[in-house]
Amino acid sequence: MASTNCWRCLARPSQRLLLAPVSVAAASAPTSATFSTSAQQLSSKASSDGSKHIRSGKRLVLGRKKRNPDRTKPPQPGERKAFRKRIQLSNDNALKVPGLDVLSSEGVVNPESVGKIFGLPVEVVDQLRACEAFKSSQNWSLFRSPHTLVRKETVDLAKQMTDAIEKKETLRLVLTGNRGSGKSILGLQALATGFLNKWVVINIPEGQELTTASTEYAPTPNSEMFSQPVYTVKLMQAIHQTNHQVLSQHKVQLDHMQLPISVTRNMTLAGLLNATKEPDFAWPVFQAFWKELLLPGRPPILFSLDGLAHIMRISEYRSPAFELIHSHDLSLVRMFTDALGGKTAFPNGAAILGVTAKGNAPMIPSMEKAIAQAAAAQKGEEPPSRDPFFRKYDERVFDTLRGVKVLDVRGVSKTEARALMEYWAASGILRSRIDERSVSEKWTMSGNGVVAEMERVVLHDLRET
């Protein structure tokens, strides 16, 4: 029998005796390779119980740096996205702030509530959450329960909306302002006003979801427009969830013969919204719902969209002819732009709100110029003229934004800043004395009260204390 060990081992018969006897498995190794060390090692690897080499010699081992495979369970599909999108609205560690009023429909238009912190009512919080008004980049998760600061612009906006709706007019308004100045929060407060006043609130939380070609689209028959069925279903569900109380008091009045689902006269508007979850039927049903809402005697409408710049450009969708589709040819976007541009008549009064974003927004020269012109017209000044050497102005954007009101959101005043900082201190998040001097210092540090900068300066103050 040929030995399964190499020549080096044979040189030491004394040690050889100490080792365990050669196993049967090792003995049945191919005999032709007795002189090859590596083959021996490979075969002995299979029979680990057999004799071991005392000195195996040096071998080049490649890939030693290979990391151990991760034993933990990989995240489920959708789990990582859920983490990213999670909205946390309470923090049990933060202290409860007693003595703060709850926001009401009267309080939000009262000039005396400027510079005060208000809590949001629980049902309004649920509604706001359902229509995705809270964003994960906002610091709601630091505090015990959602509270907002009513600032001058809030009362101004709420007053404009309620006045217009009382007179059955349409308020068309664009919120602009610097980055972090609180435009989206102001939009949220407007939505809260709508919920408190029992208006029908329709909110499109991110304009870019509609135009970055990330949701289904389909051509609408007999038109050049494209509907977004899956998004429409989602929007209908959100509207149903948030406005159920208002919509269930109104019944369908028109005949909807052309609809793919049967709609009867004793169906409520909420029932109409909830009638289908089929993406193919979503757009006609939503259109029917919109027609019903525009009849006289219906509740007023608040239609709001965040990230206005994204719907003011050519979308990333392509038509069957492989041409890029303008955002205004997407029917849901067209519905909003028609409302904002004043083409839709609202007999019951409405507020159409476009909220611009500065953090994630493309540069749209047409929109900037149109807003500047609208702002100048609002002040009664000479509107700034277009750049004669720029070719790519978009007439449709100018049509949409003609005659809108512009609300420029700036930093908060010092009294508002003080209220905010006192709330932060009372919640236990800010650990320092709040006096006129410190408020003034932080207000100045944050570019005259830009709220996001104030948060950075105050809440993330990592100074040695």
Partner 1 sequence: MASKINPWRSLRCLAVRTRPSRAHQHVPTVTARAVVPLGMRGFADTISTPPPTNDGDLPPSEIIPQPYEPRPIEPFADNFMNEEAIAALEQAAAGQDALDLIAEGLKYGMPKPPSKQDQLQNRHHPVIHQITRMLMRDGKLSKAEKHVSLILNYLRTSPPPKISPARPLLPGAPPPEQLPLNPLLYLTLAIDSVAPIVRVRSLKGMAGGGSALDVPEPIDARARRRQAIIWILDIVNKKRSMGSGRKQFAARFGQEIVSVVEGRSAAWDRRQLLHKTGTASRANLAHPALVGFKRKF
Partner 2 sequence: MVAILGANFHERKLVKKALESFYGLGPQASARIMAKYTIHPQARLGTIPAKTVTALTAELSNMTIENDARRLVQENIKRLRDMGTYRGRRHAMGLPVRGQRTRTQIETAKKLNTLERGGSGSRY
> Would you tell me which residues interact with partner 1 (CB under 8 A)?
70, 72, 74-75, 79-81, 83-84, 88, 91-95, 136, 139, 141-142, 428-429, 431, 436-437, 440-441, 456, 459-460, 462-465
Q: Which is nearer to partner 2, 216 or 381 (CB)?
A: 216
Distance CA 244, CA 323 (A): 40
Q: Among partner 1, partner 2, none, what binds residue 219 when CB lies within 5 to 8 Å by partner kind?
A: partner 2
| Sign of torsion over alpha carbons 22, 28, 32, 38 | negative
The alpha carbon torsion through 32, 37, 41, 43 (nearest 10 deg) reads 0
Least distance to partner 1, CB of residue 54, Å: 22
CA 462 vs. chain centroid, Å, equals: 28
Least distance to partner 2, CB of residue 322, Å: 5
Least distance to partner 2, CB of residue 76, Å: 13
Q: Cβ of 18: how many Cβ atoms within 10 Å?
A: 7
Q: Among partner 1, partner 2, none, what binds residue 78 when CB lies within 5 to 8 Å by partner kind?
A: none
Q: Among partner 1, partner 2, none, what binds residue 245 when CB lies within 5 to 8 Å by partner kind?
A: none
The alpha carbon torsion through 289, 294, 296, 301 (nearest 10 deg) reads 100
Q: Of the candidates 341, 331, 343, which has an alpha carbon nearest to the alpha carbon of residue 367? A: 341
> Which residues contact partner 2 by CB under 8 A?
77, 213-219, 226, 230, 316-322
Q: Which is nearer to partner 1, 64 or 437 (CB)?
A: 437
Q: Which is nearer to partner 1, 92 or 382 (CB)?
A: 92
Q: Among partner 2, partner 1, none, what binds residue 75 when CB lies within 5 to 8 Å by partner kind?
A: partner 1
Distance CA 189, CA 177 (A): 16
Q: Cβ of 177: how many Cβ atoms within 10 Å?
A: 20
Q: Which is nearer to partner 2, 330 or 420 (CB)?
A: 330
Give the helix ranges, DSSP H, for 59-171: 79-85, 122-130, 152-166
Are residues 449 and 416 in contact, defined by beta-carbon separation less than 8 angstroms?
A: yes
E-assigned strand segments in 110-265: 116-119, 147-150, 170-177, 200-204, 218-219, 226-227
Long-range contacts of 243-251 (CB under 8 A, 24+ apart): 243/200, 243/201, 243/270, 244/270, 245/198, 246/198, 246/199, 246/200, 246/299, 247/200, 247/273, 250/292, 250/298, 250/299
Q: Which is nearer to partner 1, 34 or 91 (CB)?
A: 91
Q: Among partner 1, partner 2, none, what binds residue 444 when CB lies within 5 to 8 Å by partner kind?
A: none
Least distance to partner 2, CB of residue 328, Å: 18
Least distance to partner 1, CB of residue 137, Å: 8
Q: Among partner 2, partner 1, none, what binds residue 2 when CB lies within 5 to 8 Å by partner kind?
A: none
Q: Tell the residue number behind the tokens 């006129």, with chain if given.
A: 436
Q: Among partner 2, partner 1, none, what binds residue 100 when CB lies within 5 to 8 Å by partner kind?
A: none
Q: Among partner 2, partner 1, none, what binds residue 217 when CB lies within 5 to 8 Å by partner kind?
A: partner 2
Q: Which is nearer to partner 2, 217 or 303 (CB)?
A: 217
Q: Which two tokens stand for residue 56?
A: 């195996």
Q: Which is nearer to partner 1, 93 or 249 (CB)?
A: 93
Q: Which is nearer to partner 1, 59 or 71 (CB)?
A: 71
